[in-house]
Amino acid sequence: MAAPLAPRRGAGAAGRRWLVLLPPLLLVLLLVRPAGALVEGLYCGTRDCYEVLGVSRTAGKAEIARAYRQLARRYHPDRYRPEPGDEGPGLTPQSAEEAFLLVATAYETLKDEETRKDYDYMLDHPEEYYSHYYHYYSRRLAPKVDVRVVLLVSVCAISVFQFFSWWNSYDKAISYLATVPKYRIQAMEIAKQQGLLGKAKEKGRNKKSKEEIRDKEESIIKNIIKSKIDIKGGYQKPQICDLLLFQILLAPFHLCSYIVWYCRWIYNFNIKGKEYGEEERLYIIRKSMKMSKSQFDSLEDHQKETFLKRELWIKENYEVYKQEQEEELKKKLANDPRWKRYRRWMKNEGPGRLTFVDD
């Protein structure tokens, strides 16, 4: 009884193997299924673009353009006059509009070298069905304008806007400093020592009106402030190298400089154990305070000296300093009448109650 059962077990195992192999085989057959060279929806559809224009595959651009002009004049909807037995391009009779669109499609396909190369490849390799769809729609959906040109124009526009915006901020800062008595008096003293204010008040034929003299003096004071005061931070004098365009161009240089600086930092302070210099200490303090370079540079010199005296580059000292600043801020808020009023309002009424109190 054991011998007859052995073939059945072998047949069952073979059947199971076929069931396992069947899905991959079906998938392979689906992917490599043959397709016709002329596909509906691609290029001229089921019509051969060469036959539509009446040219051979070896025809040059001039011959293709000449054939297109002749057929376009013949089948243009505004010029076409039906004749007995008239047929569209090829063997299938068509209306004038359909024939004109087909001729235009054939010309657009064959006039471009890259598109014509893709079309010839489709005629020679009809089995690569999905590849033809990819090449066709990738060219149709590709942007008409070079993306690099768009990016370059955008970066230049942003850089120009940055430059004029920074100059406007810088002029506002100079105008404000010219109204501060401390800087205005110093600038006027320097102008008197250099004899600039006397030139503004000329006599005789060159005598100017009071408004002109005032404008001239104001311009002299502002120029002195520009030359004597180094404004830092967001209102500093704009530099061309800070613009976005130049920052992008100099990005490789900055990256290499940062790598070299970082390697030196590791070698000098982590490996050799050197002591930090003033520049390195200020850098660590700025990183601990989470401030940008422009923000840190805008601080007064005496503030930076205080940071160095308290040795804030040491983590423990900075934590103590940070806690002191938080406590000081709490005391200021506690003594601020507006903050007291706000806390009283939150306690008694809260934000959910509608009131008509202006403050």
Q: 34 or 247, which is more confident? A: 247
Neighbours of 64 (CB within 10 A): 21
Q: How far, in whole angstroms, is CA 190 from its chain's centroid?
A: 47
Q: What pLDDT does 166 receive?
A: 87
Q: What is the pLDDT of residues 6-31, one digit of tens each?
A: 444 444 555 555 455 555 544 444 44
Instruction: Give mean pLDDT, residues 164-189.
Output: 85
In this structure, are residues 230 and 239 in contact, taking their beta carbons and an 8 Å threshold? no
How far is CA 245 from each of CA 170, 234, 258, 358, rounded to the nearest angstrom? 20, 19, 19, 48
Instruction: Give mean pLDDT, residues 40-51.
Output: 84
Q: What are phi and psi for residue 23, nearest 5 degrees?
A: -60, -45
Of 95, 107, 96, 97, the residue nearest 52 (C-alpha): 107
Q: 16 or 216, which is more confident? A: 216
User: Which residues make Cβ contacts (< 8 Å) with residue 237, sequence separation at least 6?
Assistant: 170, 226, 231
3-state helix, strand, coil in the chain (%, to 5): 70, 0, 30
Can you spell out the DSSP letters for 7-36?
Answer: HHHHHHHHHHHHHHHHHHHHHHHHHT----
Give the helix/strand (H/E) hosting 179. Answer: helix 147-179
The per-residue pLDDT of the chain, averaged, comes to 77
Question: Where does the pLDDT of residue 252 fall: very low under 50, low under 70, confident under 90, or very high at 90 and above?
Answer: very high
Question: Where does the pLDDT of residue 319 fall: very low under 50, low under 70, confident under 90, or very high at 90 and above?
Answer: very high
Q: What pTM value is reported for the model?
A: 0.46
Task: Specify burial of residue 81 (Cβ count, 10 A radius: 0-12, 13-18, 19+).
Answer: exposed
Cα within 13 Å of Cα(118), Cβ side? 20
Of 113, 38, 147, 183, the residue nearest 191 (C-alpha): 183
Six-digit token string for 86: 């008239």
User: Which residues make Cβ contacts (< 8 Å) with residue 236, sequence separation at least 6?
Assistant: 170, 230, 294
Picking from 84-88, 149-153, 308-312, 339-343, which range would have the lowest pLDDT averaged per residue?
A: 84-88
Kindly report the length of the chain. Answer: 359
Six-digit token string for 96: 């004038």
